[in-house]
Chains A and B, each alone.
Chain A
Amino acid sequence: MSGDFHTLSLKATRDAIADGSLRAVNVTRAYLDRIEILNPTLNAYHEVFADRALHTAQRVDAGEIKGPLAGVPLAIKDNLCTDFGHTTCSSKMLADFRSPYTATAVRRLEEAGAVILGKTNMDEFAMGSSTETCVFGVVRNPWDTRCVPGGSSGGSAAAVAAGLCAAALGSDTGGSIRQPASFCGIVGLKPTYGRISRWGLIAFASSLDQIGPLTRTTEDAALLMQVMSGQDELDSTCAPDDVPDYSAQIDQPINPLRIGLPRQYLSDKNHPTVAAMMDRATAMFKEMGATLVEIDLPHTEFGIPTYYIVAPAEASSNLARYDGVRYGYRCENPTDLVDLYSRSRSEGFGDEVKRRIMLGTHVLCSGYYDAYYTRALRVRRLIKQDFDNAFASCDVVMCPTTTGPAFPMGQNSDDPLAMYLNDIYTVTCNLAGLPGISLPGGFVEADGRKLPVGLQLLGPVFEEARLLRVARMHEKASGLSNLIADI
């Protein structure tokens, strides 16, 4: 019964259910079985909705639910609100929280017939690059369980790579989709800011957060993008721009294609194998007729400091609502209001969250605001300008997603700065509001470990279709598609 359904891509699963050769219930059951076996090791899921998922699948089989994703089993990052189960942000603060409403992106997936298998673990409030700040335990990388899956969408990435779902949703504030996608050998797309409604995405840094898909193929990413994108009257930062037909375009190669290689990204900080991956990709694109252009992104080095001012500033404000008054964790026996606030928050949040709240509170204080926040916004504009200039001479920018492959658990957990540097290639994309995609770039072997590493493509705003087409070219040429960790 439970065949190797998990090795099918989302699109193949969808097509097989649609043409009747597979029953949605069997597919869902197979995934649930696999979760039961593997999740205790990986800890990708915090909560699994077995009954609800099977019920939805039955309705798909009965023809009661139709749509472009009918019967496709998906996982949802646990910072997306669902009116079923819990929505915890992997935090003690929201460990028992149930949302009365569902995020727009999740609702659209369900309306398209998707089967939601469960909610995945993440770094607490999406703050982290390793999913080690998850209050429900660390998530393991299915390629090597001694390593982290990346973060903050580590649970989603691990679930996709281990075949515990056909695809998953993540959110990306400074690389939280692309970095774990890179570490787990899958495709992770961070859309243009405003492409997908943030309604129901628990805010970390509102001006940077975007929801996006984690999939095993570029086609699967296109399918999910299609369903989730587009205007939402509940999010005024969500763009009214038309949504192109991503799937219809994805197999059209771009020719001529100009690929920009930022000179700043080829730093000596890169793991030697990452440089090798870049060389392979460059050669591959050259062979396909692409022109390679060296481009200049002069403000790149300010990306991390700018990000670590803007993101904590917004987070300190966004997380102010978790005060123990109306919902969420409340300390025991508060003596007065201030005690209720301070103990609920210091007991309910983990160290990384508190660190960022303090950072953000500090930079927004009246005496420091101009020195930090105003300046950071100015640099942010310069970074955006860098990209605008770059896209005058190239169609996409290509660079590594990360400086190296997944690192062993515990390696960076006592060194926040080292952890923050993980975001070096991913944050500028969020600061500039651009779409970025990480796709499998190959495998590297080091210290007896064989780990995937990701290749990143960045495009101009609302050019997700272009990114997907270029990514598809690489996917076809490299054969690095639908990789499933052998666990």
Chain B
Amino acid sequence: MTSASPALDIDLPNGTTARLMVGLEVHVELATKTKNFTSTPNVANRGYFDAEPNTLCDPVVLGLPGVLPVINREAVEMSIRVGLALGCEIARHTKWDRKSYYYPDLPKNYQISQYDEPICGEGTLEVPITDDPTGPTKRVRIMRAHLEEDAGKLLHEAPGGYAIDYSIIDLNRAGTPLLEIVTHPDMGSPEEVVAFCKTLRDICRHLGVTEGILQRGQMRFEPNINVVIHRDGQTYKTPIVEVKNLNSFKAVYGSVKHEFTRQVEEWLQTGRVMGQRAKSTRGWDDAKGVTTHQRHKEDADEYRYFPDPDLVPLNVSEAWLSEMQADMPELPAVKRRRYLGEFGLDAKACDTLLDEPGLTRFYEAVLAQGADARKAAAFLLNTGSKRANDQGVPLHELGITPTQVKGILDLLASDKVGSSAAEQLFGLCCDNPEVSPEALANKHNLLQVSDTGALEAFVDRVLADPKNARAIDDLKQGKDKAIGALIGQIMKLSKGQANAKIVTELVKKKTAAG
């Protein structure tokens, strides 16, 4: 990609090209049951999203005198799973270090992080850059991923938005396990950066390591951006800018795009190029759509890293690693190829099913019962989605079991229920997850009558009714619409249980014969 990049909003002088280079630091809050170093519940775990401020605290979280951290095995396993999905080298020996800085949201005034022995080393992620699952991908090299703890939150207004002239601290988030994934500067456009972020989010959610809710800060993106400019055979690199704490794809896109133009403009004006360790930090102003200066990092940060003596180094045994490898779920990109190819689903159905990992698992559990992939998808995305929307509950949490879904699909396939009965049955299953759809259909008289003898009696009664003579005549004269009224009466007579398809056949046959 050169100056032709559509992302650049200004024209470059002739003979000048500009190439964008972006690397990412991504923080992923792991959804472990408990915090990274203590047994108090984790705010990034679904059950505790909305915990009252400062209720997820204990002596370790508060950094009280005399406390000690103990590493959370689940957090380590989640980190390794992400590492495996990104093709990272998994460290067999890893340790934690203290990163020192003073800030009121950091109770110990040091963060337990990993400095020189991260749990995950080099890896790569192939990022799809088109909708075609077999289409081209962008290869982004992963530098490392390390497991650390999150800080609390400093608030400058009281809950409810009231102004206060001091700051308050919520430590619910303090000590939440945080996986920091660092890439090489391999991305060359805002689109590629966003595609990477989305792909990574999908992977993490399908691995079940985070809910990935961006508004809640469960994944935070920090692009490191600069531009390589060529002019008259010379190469110039603009100073690197790190944009902090982005929590929407729109902000990622906007900030990268804005920086590209801003840095080229700045270079054209000042000619300033990257110096030794020159890196500045900027924030993103969502309303104005611009990045704003925060601070310069002319000197390397003085974090005084040293190994945390309270934690023992961790050895990852081959046995443990192979256990985790064996437990790796299929990744979303592979699923997408399979759904589109092998199952023949359309892109929209495929995306909907893969968008929510819980739904994906539910769908695959239905398939595991032997259901037809396309029919199951169609049924879930019509009947199921409708109810999920009405109830405001995710489809896979409506209560109905995959076995019940398969049961309804079977009843549909064998014409024992019609589609509207199937919809009712879906609802009944949601309320009675232990009862089989067949039993529920029986109990609620939803099974349709397909016995021709019984149906013929209904049909004959309706056709014999003198008030229907006109409709029968119309039908005989080829006015097919007239059949609707007749079938409606037959269905009513059968209390809705007649197999509409068979009834239609019968009516057609009898009126034609007559």
**Cβ-neighbour of A373 out of B100, B306, B311 (below 8 A):** B306
When the two chains form the complex, which single residue of B62, B68, B110 contacts A320, counting CB atoms closer than 8 Å? B110
- B302-329 CB contact bits vs A (8 Å, 1 = yes)? 1011100111100000000000000000
Is B343 interfacial (CB-CB < 8 Å)? no
**Which chain B residues lie closer than 8 Å to A313 at the CB level?**
306
* Residues 362-412 of A at the B interface (beta carbon under 8 Å): 364-366, 369, 373
Within 306-362 of A, Cβ neighbours of B (below 8 Å) are at: 313-314, 316-317, 320-321, 323, 325-327, 337, 341, 361
Whether A337 contacts B104 by the Cβ 8 Å rule is yes
Cβ contact within 8 Å between A206 and B309: yes
Partner of A364, one of B65, B104, B304: B304
Count residues on chain A whose CB falls below 8 Å from chain B CBs.
43
Cβ-defined contact, A326 with B107, below 8 A: yes
Query: Which one of B65, B68, B107, B169 lies within 8 Å of A236 (CB-CB)?
Result: B68
Q: Is the CB of B65 within 8 A of A87?
A: yes
A323–B102 touching, CB < 8 Å: yes
CB distance from B387 to the nearest CB of A (A): 45
Counting CB contacts under 8 A, is A467 at the interface? no
Cβ-closest chain B residue relative to A362: B304
**Which residues of A from 86 to 116 have beta carbons under 8 Å from B?**
87, 89, 94, 97, 99-101, 103
B466 within 8 A of partner (CB): no
- The answer to whether residues A369 and B68 also contact, given A100-B59, A236-B312, A326-B107 and a CB cut-off of 8 A, is no
CB of B64 within 8 A of CB of A317, answer no
Q: Does A161 contact B (CB under 8 A)?
A: no
Do the beta carbons of B304 and A198 come within 8 Å of each other?
Answer: no
Query: Which residue of chain A lies nearest to B98 when distances are taken between CB atoms in the complex?
Result: A317
Chain B's closest residue to A200 (CB) is B66
Q: Are the C-beta atoms of B312 and A365 separated by less than 8 Å?
A: no
Taking a contact as CB atoms under 8 Å apart, the answer to whether B311 and A236 are in contact is yes
Instruction: Write out the residue numbers on chain B whose beta carbons fall within 8 Å of the beta carbon of A99.
Output: 59, 64-66
Which residues 284-313 in B have Cβ within 8 Å of A in the complex?
300, 302, 304-306, 309-312
Min CB gap B363→A, angstroms = 40
Chain A 185-237 residues near chain B, CB threshold 8 A: 198-203, 205-207, 233-237
Q: How far is the CA of A320 from the CA of B102 in the complex (A)?
A: 8
With a CB–CB cut-off of 8 A, which chain B residues contact A94? 65
Q: Cβ of A326 and Cβ of B306 under 8 Å apart?
A: no
Is B94 an interface position by the 8 A CB rule? no
Q: In the complex, what's the smallest C-beta–C-beta distance from B31 to chain A, in angstroms? A: 23
| CB-nearest residue of chain B to A324 | B104
**Cα A361 to Cα B482 with chains together (Å):** 92
Tell whether A429 is near chain B: CB-to-CB under 8 Å. no
Question: How many angstroms between the C-alpha atoms of A310 and B271 in the bound complex?
Answer: 47
Instruction: Identify the interface centre among A80, A237, A325, A327: most chain B CB within 10 Å of its CB.
Output: A325
* Inter-chain contacts of A341 with B (CB < 8 A): 102
Smallest Cβ-Cβ distance to A238: which chain B residue: B68
Please tell me if A81 contacts chain B, counting CB pairs below 8 Å.
yes
Most buried by A among B65, B104, B304: B65
Distance in angstroms from A210 CB to nearest chain B CB is: 13
B141 sits at the interface (CB 8 A): no
Tell whether, in the assembled complex, residue A198 and residue B65 are in contact, meaning their CB atoms are under 8 Å apart. Answer: no
Collect the chain B residues with CB atoms within 8 Å of residue A323's CB.
102, 109
Instruction: Kindly state the separation between the CA atoms of A76 and B63 in the bound complex, as whole angstroms.
Output: 22
Please indicate the chain A residues that have their CB under 8 angstroms from the CB of B64 in the complex.
81, 99-101, 327
Q: How far is the CA of A281 from the CA of B100 in the complex (A)?
A: 48
**B65-A202 in contact (CB<8A):** yes
Task: Assess whether B485 is interfacial by the CB under 8 Å rule.
Answer: no
Question: By the criterion CB–CB under 8 Å, are B108 and A320 in contact?
Answer: yes
How far is the CB of B54 from the nearest CB of chain A, in Å? 11
Partner among B68, B102, B300 whose Cβ is within 8 Å of the Cβ of A198: B68
List of A residues within 8 angstroms of B69 by Cβ = 236
* A89-B65 contact given A326-B107, A341-B102, CB 8 Å threshold: yes
Given contacts A236-B68, A326-B107, A337-B104, contact A314 B63 (CB under 8 A): no
Query: Min CB distance, B320 to chain A, in Å?
Result: 17
Residues of B with C-beta under 8 A to A366:
300, 302, 304
Q: Is B65's CB under 8 angstroms from A235's CB?
A: no
Question: Is B4 positioned at the interface, with any CB of A under 8 Å from its CB?
Answer: no
B213 within 8 A of A: no
| Contact across chains for A364 and B59 when beta carbons are under 8 A apart | no
A127 to chain B, nearest CB (A): 15
Q: Which residues of A contact B98 (CB under 8 A)?
A: 317
Alpha-carbon gap, A137 to B177, bound state (A): 43
Q: How far is the CA of A313 from the CA of B63 in the complex (A)?
A: 18
Would you give the shortest CB distance from B277 to chain A, in whole angstroms?
A: 12
Min CB–CB distance B101 → chain A (angstroms): 9
Residues of A within 8 A of B302 (CB): 365-366
List of A residues within 8 angstroms of B340 by Cβ = none
Binary contact track B344-364/A, C-beta < 8 Å → 1, others 0: 000000000000000000000
B-contacting residues of A (Cβ < 8 Å)? 79-81, 87, 89, 94, 97, 99-101, 103, 198-203, 205-207, 233-237, 313-314, 316-317, 320-321, 323, 325-327, 337, 341, 361, 364-366, 369, 373
17 contacting pairs across A/B (C-beta < 8 A): A81-B66, A94-B65, A100-B59, A199-B67, A200-B66, A202-B65, A203-B66, A234-B68, A235-B70, A236-B69, A236-B71, A314-B306, A320-B108, A323-B102, A325-B169, A341-B102, A364-B100
New contact pairs (8) apart from A234-B70, A237-B311, A320-B110, CB-CB < 8 Å: A79-B66, A89-B65, A200-B66, A203-B65, A206-B310, A317-B304, A321-B108, A327-B64
